[in-house]
């Protein structure tokens, strides 16, 4: 696969000005709801700190906790599988489904199965997979990936949902009322739930001391999808573990408030073993996580509880759309996880960031996101993935910024020369900063001159 | 049951163990978590804000007549009840083998063990409930809760839970989605409405 250039991918999205602005304000609305929810709890900061400590503690003895979880989940009657890679994960899912002759599968939102590209594998084997979260179903019918980890269809307008539903579900042409469309999806997916041979879910939290795991949804799709068919497959990254049941109190209080500003999701289902006469399979997936654990600078990115708050607040994400990242998890956290796994392909992502630090401020588990993004830029350079233009630019900037006199000299030359240079020399392909904007008017005097005039030599 | 992929298990555990990860102590969770002057009033407010309705009863005797006042109950063809002697059921949940038979339930009367003031959630388990699908598949829900079982926050709730059932859940209001242009729609896949009957 060729490397993904975030700026290039974002271009189309930005070109439709109206859409970018609409997307921006839709996400800002969610961010504002998050703020209100966070401010309703005086202990918010203590909660964040506690969550961060629990996650870091778990990471410090993850192998022990995984073994404990396995033992307890097995005791409850679940079958625990281990998958080092995405391929192995998909193979295990396939094997379980084939053993049961399952032809129809309902899946609730799981970023992990997206990450493993499970659907194409199952479809190739003749198994129908239906994503049952409304947003996920919309993007599935449009044959595109989710653009957000909590709001998969945030980039799509209701008229477009109407169109795709008209095509696939037979809703009235031109209908775009959310109530009407949701009702149509409810009917359509009820049929799928009732016809399913197996249900696949993700996992929000798994508890080592009890062997239970928790899945959070608002729609009830994970729950309906696992309470009818005889087989439930739960797929989880190994970082989803927490030590104690009471730790759930901390995380469930943070998750929905950070994600959508709700005090808790409608359903927080605690699964402790299979339904009687049925099977429960839990797949523990590594797929690069253990190697991130070994990198001190990026380890805490594994704390992530996938709330999406860092995306909702990110000025770059809001204006460029989730698809521009070309990864399952977009936004600030995705811009760390993806290049940590494959720097060659994802090296442009840590640069899709203004280092404003807003992500770090909202993250419920206190991941130092913008610090990690900065560090990742260094890693990208060290690995030799910086494009030539950026490399030369940085090199030249380095020379200038290290020499006080040169900086002052070039500044004064620039102030005099810039207004005289013909436009094509400034606004050309080499100068990315001049693409969609005008350079500011050059001031007559530099800051240093003004400062000196006002406060004397010092 | 023994999982078949032993080598992946060893590989993952070894890969993790080869890294020195600095130790961080597990916090004790004894902070000053929010306590409401009236957990009851906060619970009602929280539940209403997530789309639920609250009906206050003076005693269980009132339940029948309050149920009859609900359109969703009065017009329900198939009713199911997990509260003994209440909810005039037409369908015996524990008599059926296949959960798919629950598909046509219009109204289910459930009973909750616990309510959480900060988020309007109630805790329910599959203790004595043969098919957990009933929580999600019924078109409308009534939930019975005793006001004395309301705690302020989730930490207190977890202190009181026993993890002995195969399934337990916090449910906060009816099912909902905002996946179409962020417009809130009540009634996604689960219940279209949730009415909570509060006993003193
Ligand atoms: S990094 Fe933090 S803010 Fe971003 S999705 Fe993960 S938990 Fe949420």
Which single residue is written with the structure tokens 């999982």?
B3
- What pLDDT, in 10s, does the model give residues A319-345? 999 999 999 999 999 999 999 998 889
Please report the pLDDT score of residue B2 as a whole number. Answer: 42
- What pLDDT, in 10s, does the model give residues A203-222? 999 999 999 999 999 999 99
CA distance B136 to B52: 15
Please report the pLDDT score of residue A1 as a whole number. Answer: 53
Domains of chain B: 35-199 (3.40.50.10420)
- What pLDDT, in 10s, does the model give residues B6-61? 799 999 999 999 998 888 999 999 999 999 999 999 999 999 999 999 999 999 99
pLDDT at A428 over 90: no
Q: Is A319 helix (H, G, I), strand (E, B) or coil?
A: helix
Nearest Cα residue in chain B from A267: B171
B172 touches chain A (CB under 8 A): yes
Please report the pLDDT score of residue A425 as a whole number. Answer: 79
Please report the pLDDT score of residue B145 as a whole number. Answer: 98
What mean pLDDT is predicted for residues B157-163?
88
Please report the pLDDT score of residue A124 as a whole number. Answer: 95
Whole-number Å distance, alpha carbon A43 to ligand 1 midpoint, is 19
- What pLDDT, in 10s, does the model give residues A375-414? 999 999 898 888 888 888 889 999 999 999 999 899 888 8
Please report the pLDDT score of residue A217 as a whole number. Answer: 96
- What pLDDT, in 10s, does the model give residues B85-110? 999 999 999 899 999 999 999 999 99
Say how many CA atoms lie within 13 Å of A455 toward its Cβ: 5
What mean pLDDT is predicted for residues A155-168?
96
Please report the pLDDT score of residue B180 as a whole number. Answer: 94
Is B25 in contact with A53 (CB distance < 8 Å)? yes
Please report the pLDDT score of residue A458 as a whole number. Answer: 55
Whole-number Å distance, alpha carbon B153 to ligand 1 midpoint, is 23
Q: Is A187 helix (H, G, I), strand (E, B) or coil?
A: helix
Cβ(A329) to ligand 1 under 6 A?
Answer: no
Which single residue is written with the structure tokens 């594994």?
A302
Q: What percent of chain A has pLDDT over 90?
A: 81
Sign of the Cα pseudo-torsion (A12, A18, A22, A28, in order):
positive
What mean pLDDT is predicted for residues A431-443?
78
Please report the pLDDT score of residue B163 as a whole number. Answer: 67
Task: List, as ranges, residues 194-253 from A with C-beta within 8 Å of B.
Answer: 194, 210, 212, 218-221, 223-224, 227-228, 238, 243-250, 252-253
Q: What is the pTM of this model?
A: 0.94
- What pLDDT, in 10s, does the model give residues B105-147? 999 999 999 999 999 999 999 999 999 999 999 999 999 999 9
pLDDT at B1 over 50: no
Task: List, as ranges, residues 366-425 from A with C-beta within 8 Å of B.
Answer: none
Is A222 in contact with A267 (CB distance < 8 Å)? yes
Concatenating the DSSP letter of every residue in A249-300 gives HHHHHHHHHHHTS-SS-SEEEEE-SPPTT-EEEEEEE-TTHHHHHT-TTTGG
Please report the pLDDT score of residue B3 as a whole number. Answer: 47
Regarding the domain delimited by A65-287, which CATH topology (the fold level of the hierarchy) does it fall under? Rossmann fold (3.40.50)
Architecture (CATH level 2) of domain A1-40+302-386: Orthogonal Bundle (1.10)
* Smallest CA separation from ligand 1 atom 4, residue: A310
* Smallest CA separation from ligand 1 atom 3, residue: A363
At a CB cut-off of 8 Å and minimum separation 6, what does B108 contact?
A: B79, B80, B81, B82, B134, B135, B138, B140, B141, B142
CA A48 to chain CA centroid, nearest Å: 19
* Mean pLDDT taken over chain B: 94
pLDDT at A443 over 90: no
Please report the pLDDT score of residue A155 as a whole number. Answer: 95
**Domain segments of chain A as ranges:** 1-40+302-386, 65-287, 390-455
CA distance A26 to A23: 5
At a CB cut-off of 8 Å and minimum separation 6, what does A62 contact?
A: A238, A239, A241, A293, B16, B21
ipTM for the complex? 0.96
Nearest Cα residue in chain A from B119: A263
* Mean pLDDT taken over chain A: 94
Nearest Cα residue in chain B from A176: B180
């Amino acid at each position: 696969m060729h490397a993904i250039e975030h700026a290039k991918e974002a271009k189309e999205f930005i070109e439709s000005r109206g859409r970018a602005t609409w997307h921006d304000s839709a996400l800002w609305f969610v961010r504002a709801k998050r703020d209100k929810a966070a401010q309703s709890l005086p202990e918010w900061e203590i909660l964040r700190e506690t969550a961060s400590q629990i996650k870091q503690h778990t990471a410090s003895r993850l192998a022990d906790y995984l073994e404990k979880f396995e033992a307890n989940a097995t005791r409850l009657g679940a079958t625990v599988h281990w998958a080092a890679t995405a391929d192995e994960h998909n193979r295990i899912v396939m094997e379980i489904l084939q053993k049961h002759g399952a032809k129809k599968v309902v899946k609730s939102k799981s970023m992990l199965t997206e990450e493993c590209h499970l659907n194409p594998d199952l479809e190739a084997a003749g198994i129908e997979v239906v994503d049952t979260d409304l947003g996920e179903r919309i993007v599935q019918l449009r044959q595109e990936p989710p653009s957000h980890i909590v709001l998969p269809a945030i980039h799509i307008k209701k008229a477009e949902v109407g169109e795709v539903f008209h095509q696939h579900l037979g809703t009235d042409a031109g209908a775009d009322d959310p109530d009407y469309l949701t009702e149509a999806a409810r009917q359509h997916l009820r049929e799928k739930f009732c016809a399913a041979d197996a249900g696949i879910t993700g996992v929000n939290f798994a508890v080592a001391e009890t062997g239970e795991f928790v899945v959070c949804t608002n729609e009830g799709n994970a729950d309906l999808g696992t309470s009818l068919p005889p087989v439930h497959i739960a797929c989880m990254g190994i970082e989803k573990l927490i030590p104690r049941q009471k730790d759930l109190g901390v995380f469930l209080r943070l998750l929905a408030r950070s994600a959508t500003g709700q005090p808790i999701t409608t359903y927080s289902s605690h699964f402790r073993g299979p339904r009687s006469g049925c099977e429960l399979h839990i797949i523990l997936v590594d797929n690069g996580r253990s190697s991130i654990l070994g990198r001190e600078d990026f380890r805490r990115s594994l704390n992530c509880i996938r709330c999406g708050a860092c995306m909702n607040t990110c000025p770059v994400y809001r204006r460029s759309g989730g698809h521009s990242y070309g990864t399952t998890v977009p936004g600030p956290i995705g811009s760390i996880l993806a290049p940590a796994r494959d720097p060659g392909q994802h090296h442009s992502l840590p640069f899709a960031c203004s280092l404003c630090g807003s992500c770090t401020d909202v993250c419920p588990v206190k991941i130092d996101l913008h610090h990690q993004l900065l560090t990742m830029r260094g890693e990208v350079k060290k690995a030799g993935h910086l494009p030539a233009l950026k490399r030369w630019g940085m090199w030249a900037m380095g020379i200038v910024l290290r020499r006080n006199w040169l900086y002052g000299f070039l500044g004064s030359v620039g102030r005099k020369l810039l207004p005289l240079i013909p436009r094509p020399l400034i606004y050309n392909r080499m100068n990315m900063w001049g693409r969609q904007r005008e350079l500011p008017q050059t001031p007559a005097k530099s800051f240093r001159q003004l400062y000196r005039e006002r406060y004397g030599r010092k | 049951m023994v999982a078949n992929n032993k080598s992946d298990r060893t590989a993952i555990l070894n890969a993790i163990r080869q890294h020195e990860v600095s130790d961080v102590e597990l916090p004790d969770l004894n902070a000053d978590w929010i306590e409401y002057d009236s957990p009851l009033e906060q619970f009602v407010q929280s539940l209403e804000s997530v789309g639920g309705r609250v009906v206050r009863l003076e005693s269980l005797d009132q339940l029948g007549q309050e149920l009859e006042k609900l359109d969703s109950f009065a017009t329900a063809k198939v009713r199911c009840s997990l509260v003994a002697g209440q909810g005039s059921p037409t369908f015996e949940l524990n008599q059926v083998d296949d959960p798919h038979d629950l598909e046509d339930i219009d109204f289910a009367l459930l009973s909750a063990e616990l309510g959480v003031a900060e988020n309007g959630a109630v805790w329910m388990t599959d203790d004595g409930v043969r098919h957990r699908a009933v929580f999600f598949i019924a078109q409308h829900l009534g939930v019975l809760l005793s006001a004395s079982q309301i705690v302020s926050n989730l930490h207190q709730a977890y202190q009181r839970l026993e993890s002995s059932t195969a399934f337990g859940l916090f449910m906060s209001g009816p099912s909902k989605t905002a996946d179409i242009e962020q417009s809130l729609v009540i009634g996604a896949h689960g219940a279209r409405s949730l009415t909570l009957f509060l006993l003193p």
